[in-house]
Structure 1
Amino acid sequence: MIVRQRETITAKVLLILLMLITVLPFVSLFVTALHPSGTYPQGISWPSQPQWSNFADAFTAANMLQLLKSSSLIVLGVVPASVVFGTMAGFAFGHLRVKGHRWLFLLFVLGLTLPFEGILTPLYFQVRDMGLLNTRWAIILPLIGLFMPFAVLWMRAHFVNVPEELSEAARVDGASTWQLFWHVHVPIARPALSSLGILLFLWTWNQFLLAIVLVDDPGKRTMAGALGSFQGQFGTNIPLLCAGSLLIMAPTLIVFLIFQRQFVTALLAGSVKG
């Protein structure tokens, strides 16, 4: 009993420390953003006169409305396509087990080992030859391909654990492969689908490297990619830069807070099945 209490106390202390380590940078950004424009705050100190107008100034200076529109278009181009293709491929690998699926699956696993930096140079020339440089398609199409390995593995991990009896019962009732996929397996895969969608949204919204290399116009980048241009203009104005950074991070934090229950449910379901 005493050992269990010690373990519980230790776990709580570690969680509190981890929470403080995680939250401290956001607190520092928020407090710094409230200091007078052009100052250099030392440490984490609450200003005597908080400058809430810094957020409005950063919103206007960074042209946030245009960036929100651009990021939303990129997300709408990447996330639905990646989820659909990843789900169909994951179903083929995890449940249908098509001929040669082990070797094909190995290729997707190898795809997870490819860093963005390693393929950036050939990707740049390929996008250039396609005439897509400085367009949103230069971000959308590569991200769909780069997200496929993870999306396929994520959905395969779900479908491989679905009982065969469900498919056999549907086959007896005369269901085709498409009906089996759409009416039987997709509905029970909603937790995995929602968590995959959240992850892809976060990664797409925060995509920085591809945005600054393949797109020159800040208005056609993701919000994270446009932060580089914003930093170049206001790199010496630390409070305004912190305010802009918080505004860029706000959508991802809001989405995660709204859908965190679905995300945790999918993770717990996967751990139980595994």
Structure 2
Amino acid sequence: MITARREAWTGRLLLIVLMAVTLLPFLSLFVTALHPSGTYPAGLAWPGDPQWGNFLRAFEAANMGALLWSSVLIVLGVVPISILLGTMAGFAIGHLRVIGARVVFLLFVLGLTLPFEGVITPLYYQVRDMGLLNTRWAIILPLIGLFMPFSVFWMRAHFVNMPAELSESARMDGANVWQLFRRIHVPLAMPAISSLGILLFLWTWNQFLLAIVLVDDPAKRTMSGALGAFQGQWGTDIPLLCAGSLLILTPTLVIFLIFQRHFVKALLQGSLKG
């Protein structure tokens, strides 16, 4: 009994320490953003006269209204298509067991090992030859391709554990493959699809490398990609830079807080099925 209580308190203490370590950088950014422009605050000292206007200045200086709209367009171009293609491919590989499914699946798994940095140079020349440089398509199309291995892997982990009897019963009732997929398996796969959508949203919104390399116009990048241009212009104004960084982080934090319970539940379910 004493040992169980000791382990419980040790676990709680460890969680508190991890939470403090996680929140400390955000607290440091927030406190620094409230200092007067041009100053270099030391530590976590609360300013005597908090400059709340730094957030408005950063919003206007970075033209974040246009960046927000650009990020929304990129997310809307990447996430739905990636989910659709990943779900259909995962269903075919994991449940229908089509000819060559194992080979195709191994190729997708191999794609998981490819870092963005390793393909950015050939990707740049390919996008240039297609005439898509400095457009949002230069971010949308590569991200769809780069997200496909994980999307297929994630959805296949769900469909491979679905009982075959379920599909056999539907076929006996006259359902074809498309009806089987759309009316039966997609509704059952909603937890996995939702968690995949949240992950793809976070990764797309926070995409930095492709936006910097393939798009010159900051107004056509993601918000995270525009941080590079903002840093180059306001890199010497640390409080304003911290305020801009917090504004860029805010949408992802809001999405995570809203869907926190659903995200954790779906993520655990997907990992258990994998």
1:273, 1:102 → 2: CA distance? 18
Which residue does the alignment assign to 2:222? Answer: 222
What is the identity, as a one-letter code, of the residue corresponding to 2:128?
R
Which residue does the alignment assign to 1:270? Answer: 270
1:177, 1:5 → 2: CA distance? 54
1:25 aligns with 2:25: yes
**Runs of 5+ in structure 2 lacking a partner?**
none
1:37 CA displacement: 0.8
Q: Within 5 Å, give how 1:88-127 maps onto structure 2.
A: 88-127=88-127
Whether contact under 8 Å (2:90, 2:155) holds in the other structure is yes
1:273 CA displacement: 4.0
Which residue does the alignment assign to 2:47? Answer: 47
What is the identity, as a one-letter code, of the residue corresponding to 2:85?
F
Which residue does the alignment assign to 1:258? Answer: 258
Q: Deviations over 1:116-159 (max 9, x none)?
A: 01111000000000000000000000000000000000001111
SS state at 2:187 partner:
helix
What is the identity, as a one-letter code, of the residue corresponding to 1:87?
T
The CA RMSD measured in Å over matched residues stands at 0.9
SS state at 2:259 partner:
helix
2:127, 2:269 → 1: CA distance? 39
**Alpha carbons of 1:148 and 1:8: their partners in 2 closer, same or farther (altered >3 Å)?**
same
**Alpha carbons of 1:273 and 1:112: their partners in 2 closer, same or farther (altered >3 Å)?**
closer
Q: Deviations over 1:2-26 (max 9, x none)?
A: 2211211111111111101110000
SS state at 1:107 partner:
helix
Q: Deviations over 1:20-65 (max 9, x none)?
A: 1110000000000000111000011111111000000000000000
Whether contact under 8 Å (2:55, 2:240) holds in the other structure is yes
Which residue does the alignment assign to 1:6? Answer: 6
Give me the TM-score of the superposition, normalised by structure 1: 0.98
1:264, 1:90 → 2: CA distance? 22
1:226 CA displacement: 0.3
1:132 aligns with 2:132: yes
1:168 CA displacement: 1.4
Which residue does the alignment assign to 2:193? Answer: 193
What is the identity, as a one-letter code, of the residue corresponding to 1:56?
L
1:271 CA displacement: 4.6
1:270 CA displacement: 3.0
**Alpha carbons of 1:118 and 1:272: their partners in 2 closer, same or farther (altered >3 Å)?**
closer
**Alpha carbons of 1:266 and 1:125: their partners in 2 closer, same or farther (altered >3 Å)?**
same
Q: Within 5 Å, give how 1:223-242 maps onto structure 2.
A: 223-242=223-242
Q: Deviations over 1:225-258 (max 9, x none)?
A: 0000000000000000000000000001111111
Give me the TM-score of the superposition, normalised by structure 2: 0.98
Q: Deviations over 1:87-128 (max 9, x none)?
A: 000001110011010011000000000000111100000000
Which residue does the alignment assign to 1:248? Answer: 248
SS state at 2:175 partner:
coil
**Runs of 5+ in structure 1 lacking a partner?**
none
1:169 CA displacement: 1.3
1:272 CA displacement: 4.6
1:34 aligns with 2:34: yes
Over the matched positions of the two proteins, sequence identity in percent amounts to 76
1:173 CA displacement: 0.8
2:77, 2:246 → 1: CA distance? 25
The number of equivalent residue pairs is 274
1:262, 1:93 → 2: CA distance? 26
What is the identity, as a one-letter code, of the residue corresponding to 1:127?
V
